[in-house]
Amino acid sequence: MIKGFSKLNKQEKRNWVYNKYLSNNLQELEIFSKYDLSDEKLQLLHDDFIENTIGNYLLPFAIAPNFSIDGHYYTVPMVLEESSVVAAVSKAAKFWSERGGFKCEVQSMEKVGHIHLFYEGDKQILFNFFNQIEPILYKETEPLTENMRKRGGGISSIILKDMTDNLEHHYQVFVTFLTGDAMGANFINSCLEQMTQIIEREALIHLSEGSLEVLMSILSNYTPQCLVRAEVSAPLSEMTYNDIEGNIFARDFVRAIAVADADVYRAVTHNKGVMNGVDAVVIATGNDFRAVEAACHAYACRGGKYKSLTQAYIKEDRFHFKIELPLAIGTVGGLTKLHPMVKIALKILENPTAEILMKIIACVGLAQNFAAVSSLITHGIQKGHMKMHLVNILNQLGATIQEKEQVIAHFIDKTVSHREVVQFLNQLRSS
């Protein structure tokens, strides 16, 4: 137990961690300073992003070129650590750029917030009360929504829902918002908290019967009204992949998607592959990948069973592959204005609107899934993954540049395994 930790300066926090957990290993303490930025002002900016910062944790920043989306080519920034993801998605992007590219449509961009009420009394009295105060909720939140309304956004609707079938006495004020190019979390929560105060005030004045209690108000990260679709298609004759004939490849691909729909064990791994691509772009552009993950996985089980986020079918000798995702993201506000690498990422994407970024992210998720499933039904996923992982193994083993070149050349046409790499590297060193 330590008291007042947050009041310590950065070096004092490091020293505490060093003394308590690093067994006085000076080399481990020095790792923190090795990752410090040389630009002191920039380091202070990073330190202020969160509480109790004691160092930086770096992830690779990569790009995947050749994404043809609605007739425009994009180079997509990705931030992640997993081997083979960027290589795989780049291969898929090139494959589909030669077959007409990705086609996208944003269905809607509404985001959601809730005020959770508990009311013991006549339901009709509560609904009459709500109808009476609804105009006041719009009117008294106008100072908060003014700037958003100038940009075409604001509060779209306010509805009282009866939730008592699932939880006794529970009602929900269901509010939808349009936030333009902003993710809008702070805007939504501010509006909801203002509405909460109005409801509580008006209930004391006008709600003559029953007991009303506001439990909490918060945005929802489940955003099925903020929906984007992406699709690719090509004649079966153009679907030859890894030397597998097009009609056979397409048939097996459709079957693999059907397996993910039928089996939750496969569906989770299948959708994790989708999120490999989605999360990497969400992180690179300064958005909340945890919120996106939660929404997408909830959407995968919207029918009562967890299923694939992608769908594939063959119609009239043509292969179709598509994805539908709830993506609440933004291109203004938050880290987009603060993190220098986020600014660079958005510039590489040609400063997209939130709508265009939704399309790009959905296409990367679809491409990532195409790459993974294609590998699984042809040469297997480990062949490509382990070749990309080979460098990581060599770094773990402390291989020199010359040793890396020799090992990589040796395994160019062989299956990579940790055991085989260790064995061959030992042979090199002993000779």
Q: Give residue-wise pLDDT tens across range 380-427.
A: 655 555 556 677 788 888 888 888 878 877 877 677 777 878 887 888
Please report, for residues 73, 86, 174, 247, 330, the alpha-carbon distance to residue 65 in angstroms, rounded to integers and kept in the order given.
8, 10, 41, 28, 22
pLDDT value, residue 384: 54
Q: Within a 10 A sphere around the Cβ of 33, how many other Cβ atoms?
A: 10
Query: Rounded to an integer, what distance in angstroms lies between the CA atom of residue 271 and that of residue 226?
Result: 19
Q: Say yes or no: 99 and 113 in one domain.
A: no
**Among 91, 288, 324, 387, the one annotated catalytic:** 288
Q: Are residues 213 and 284 in the same domain?
A: no
Check whether residue 113 and residue 101 sit in a common domain: no
Q: Of 36, 47, 70, 82, which residue is the catalytic one? A: 82
364 and 341 within one domain: yes
Instruction: Answer yes or no: 337 catalytic.
Output: no
Annotated catalytic residue 288 = yes
Is-contact 300 307, C-beta < 8 A?
Answer: yes
* CA–CA separation, 64 and 302 (whole Å): 31
123 with 210, same domain: the answer is yes
Catalytic residue, from 272, 320, 339, 383: name it.
Answer: 272
CB 244 within 8 A of CB 379: no
What is the Cα Rg of the chain in Å?
26
CA atoms of 390 and 386, how far apart (whole Å): 6
Same-domain status, 375 and 389: no
The pLDDT score that the predictor gives to residue 380 is 64
> What pLDDT sits at residue 209?
87
Backbone dihedral region for residue 77 (phi beyond 0: left; psi -120 to 50: alpha; all else: beta): beta
Task: Tell me if 237 is assigned to some domain.
Answer: yes
Instruction: Out of 13, 111, 359, 385, pick the active-site residue.
Output: 385
* Structural domain includes residue 52: no
Q: For 112-145, what is each residue's pLDDT tens digit?
A: 999 999 999 999 999 999 999 999 999 999 999 9
- Which pLDDT does position 327 carry in this prediction? 97
DSSP notation for 128-156? HHHHHHHHHHHHHTHHHHHHHHHTT-EEE
Residues 74 and 112 grouped into a single domain: no
Residue 349 lies in a domain: yes
- Residue 13, SS3 per DSSP: helix
3-state secondary structure of 364: helix
Domain boundary among 362, 380, 398: 380
385 is catalytic: yes
Its domain, for residue 402, covers 385-430
Contact present, 194 and 136 (Cβ < 8 Å): no
Are residue 233 and residue 345 in the same domain, yes or no?
yes
pTM, two decimals, is 0.88
Looking up residue 199, the CATH number of its domain turns out to be 3.30.70.420
Give me the pLDDT at residue 391, please: 75
Q: Which of 220, 252, 268 is the last residue of a domain?
A: 220
Contact 136, 116 (CB under 8 A): no
Task: Give me the long-range contacts of 49-55 (CB less than 8 A, separation at least 24).
Answer: 49/335, 49/338, 49/339, 51/6, 52/5, 52/6, 52/13, 53/10, 54/10, 54/13, 54/14, 54/17, 55/14, 55/31
Token digits of residue 115 = 């005020």
Tokens of 90: 């780049």
State the alpha helices, DSSP H only, in 380-417.
381-396, 401-410
pLDDT of 409: 78
Q: Per the domain annotation, does 272 fall within a domain?
A: yes
Residue 55 lies in a domain: no
Q: Of 203, 220, 237, which residue is a domain's last? A: 220
Do 37 and 74 reside in the same domain of the chain? no
pLDDT of residue 218: 97
Is residue 315 situated within a structural domain? yes
Mode of pairing for the β-strands spanning 61-69 and 72-79? antiparallel
Asked whether residue 193 falls in the same domain as residue 214, the answer is: yes
Identify whether residues 283 and 399 lie together within a single domain: no
Instruction: Please report whether residue 18 resides in a domain.
Output: yes
Which residues of the chain are under the pLDDT cut of 50? none
Same domain, 200 and 332: no
- How many independent structural domains does the chain possess? 4
**Domain assignment present for 56:** no
